[in-house]
Structure 1
Amino acid sequence: MTGGRLAVLFGLAVLALPAAAQAPEHSPRPVARSAVDAVLHQVRFQTHPRPRALPAVAVVAPVTASDTAQASRPKLRPPSAQVISAAARPASLPFLSPERSMSPLSRPKDLEEKVFFKKLKRRKGSVCGDIDIQGEQVGRVKGKLRGCGAEDAVRVREVAGVRLSQQAVMTCDTARALKTWVERGVKPAFRSRGPVVEMRVAAHYVCRTRNHKTGAKISEHGKGRAIDISAFVMKDGEVITVLKGWGQGTTLRPLRQVWKAACGPFGTVLGPESDRYHRDHFHVDTARYRGGPYCR
């Protein structure tokens, strides 16, 4: 700023002195800044600009050396379940390596081969394209009476892990229906007493008329589409027969479940209450009717 301009401002400040505010004790207002102070403040501000205000900083309590050491030290991780279990493990019990462990990491090679060859054997012994139906191919079966016989028949010895007391000749449709019946009906019905390991076969393929009556129609047995089951054998050796079991309270219920479950997979289901010819067995066959399954 030039000297002349400073002189003018100084003169103005001197003239304004009489107009100064009263003393603080005579006025409730704070003392007003004098003209000279105002001029000097303006000159100082223009010569030296006010620096930018710094952001407010929160007041922090003084940090001691102990606080610094504690803050720099990492917090301890809580012990894991493995560490706790290891601590509770008896010291006298030695640690076992995978080679000595009772539960090895991998299945032994000889066991893998045993399972593989067992499955391969079952695959070779299966019929009807189903590994759960074990037996052998028979082919075409001829009958002595007109209407008897079967095409592409098989001789079944086991179905869904349940063996037959004697190998039964039937068609593949009948074998598949028998598997469905065993899985959905026979096994669940005897779950509390079983498991079931065998079904006793009373009759399978035989060229004859219905109920052996002269002049009657050819039975489904003569077409390889029927099988008669007279009893069920449990793993513990218990034998539940249709003849005696149907009249007892503890075995009547599962036998009724077995009979009911057959109605659907098979087209005809006959039991002890159907007629006197079926008092001691269940007759099931794959004959189909327009009105649906015939179950008595």
Structure 2
Amino acid sequence: MNFSRVGFLKWVLVILLGVAAVVYKPWTYLPPEWNPWAPLSITDEMTQVTRWKLSQLQQAPQSCVAVLEEAPEGWVDYLDLEDYTPVQGCPLTNVVRVRSSGLDFNSPFTVTCPMLVAWVMFERQQLQPLALEHLDSEVSRVDHFGSFACRNIYNRENARRSQHASANAFDVAGFRLKDGGQVSVLRDWDNTQAPEKSTFLKAVHDSACAYFGTVLGPDYNQPHENHFHLDANGFGFCR
């Protein structure tokens, strides 16, 4: 009898909690960056929930474009592209053509929509504040080596496909500043003559790890000595 009574009380408690949840909807009191049911906004702070929402955009092209469409005016200039195959063996899906974000690029590039969302969030939340903190100037332009390249990793014949083959990666070579200064990954990563540039680059590298699945830089290997490789594959591989 005692076990039956305890079991009955547990069921009553479960039912009451369920009713309370339906009536009061406690998740509506969560800030959007912690609410898994709230649509992702490009203005959300980066949290574990935000990262999960970002990962869901890989399989939700329309939702991803909706995030970009809701971005504040001037935050990003892009063209939503239909799926296409620019090179045999490397079809592109869920991609956009990027002209500019809050800053300029040395040339337009094509990248997956989730990568662009992550980039704009990273630019606003980390890159520009770090530039002001360490260099007393905001970034005006990013110099890059591109995003799409139909190839295997390190161009090895028997290697797996690079994330560049699906335009899911972006290689950053350096930054131009609003005050006229320049920062190069190759020249300034360990620049003892201008330690503020080195500190800035290392802070940018480390902070990018919260926004992109993979972040590789000069300390990873020689092929990355002149750029940061950022891509949306995986979760938290930061070297």
For residues 127 and 165 of structure 1, what CA distance do their matches in structure 2 show?
25
For residues 229 and 193 of structure 1, what CA distance do their matches in structure 2 show?
21
CA-based RMSD of the aligned residues comes to 1.7
For residues 222 and 115 of structure 2, what CA distance do their matches in structure 1 show?
25
For residues 185 and 128 of structure 1, what CA distance do their matches in structure 2 show?
18
Matched, 1:280 2:226: yes
Write the deviation string for residues 236-276 of structure 1: whole angstroms up to 9, x where unpaired. Answer: 22110001111112211110110011102100000000001
For residues 120 and 190 of structure 2, what CA distance do their matches in structure 1 show?
27
Residue 87 of structure 2 corresponds to which residue in structure 1?
144
TM normalised by structure 1 equals: 0.53
Matches within 5 A, 1:9-158: 128-129=68-69, 130=71, 131=73, 132-146=75-89, 148-158=90-100
For residues 208 and 67 of structure 2, what CA distance do their matches in structure 1 show?
22
For residues 155 and 86 of structure 2, what CA distance do their matches in structure 1 show?
15
Kindly provide the amino acid, as one letter, of the partner of residue 180 in structure 1.
M
Match of 2:160, SS? coil
Return the structure number with greater helix share. Answer: 2
For residues 227 and 270 of structure 1, what CA distance do their matches in structure 2 show?
11
Write the deviation string for residues 106-143 of structure 1: whole angstroms up to 9, x where unpaired. Answer: xxxxxxxxxxxxxxxxxxxx993234221212221315
Residue 101 of structure 1 corresponds to which residue in structure 2?
none
For residues 238 and 227 of structure 2, what CA distance do their matches in structure 1 show?
14
Contact 2:67 2:117 in 1 (8 A): no
Shift of 1:165: 1.1
Percent of aligned positions with the same letter in both sequences? 27
For residues 295 and 228 of structure 1, what CA distance do their matches in structure 2 show?
14
For residues 67 and 138 of structure 2, what CA distance do their matches in structure 1 show?
24
Assess, with a 3 A threshold, how the Cα gap between structure 1 residues 186 and 174 changes in structure 2: closer, same or farther. same
Task: Provide structure 1 residue ranges, at least 5 long, that are not aligned to the other structure.
Answer: 1-125
TM normalised by structure 2 equals: 0.65
Match of 2:125, SS? helix
For residues 174 and 220 of structure 2, what CA distance do their matches in structure 1 show?
17
Match of 1:155, SS? strand
Residue 199 of structure 1 corresponds to which residue in structure 2?
142
For residues 188 and 261 of structure 1, what CA distance do their matches in structure 2 show?
11
- Structure 1 residue runs of 4+, over 3 Å off? 143-146
For residues 207 and 236 of structure 2, what CA distance do their matches in structure 1 show?
12
For residues 187 and 92 of structure 2, what CA distance do their matches in structure 1 show?
34
Q: 2:213 aligns with which of 260, 267, 278?
A: 267
Residue 173 of structure 1 corresponds to which residue in structure 2?
114
Match of 2:93, SS? strand
Kindly provide the amino acid, as one letter, of the partner of residue 283 in structure 1.
H
Matches within 5 A, 1:198-277: 198-248=141-191, 249-277=195-223
Kindly provide the amino acid, as one letter, of the partner of residue 153 in structure 2.
R
> Which has more radius of gyration?
1
Task: Provide structure 2 residue ranges, at least 5 long, that are not aligned to the other structure.
Answer: 1-65
Match of 1:186, SS? helix
Write the deviation string for residues 8-56 of structure 1: whole angstroms up to 9, x where unpaired. Answer: xxxxxxxxxxxxxxxxxxxxxxxxxxxxxxxxxxxxxxxxxxxxxxxxx
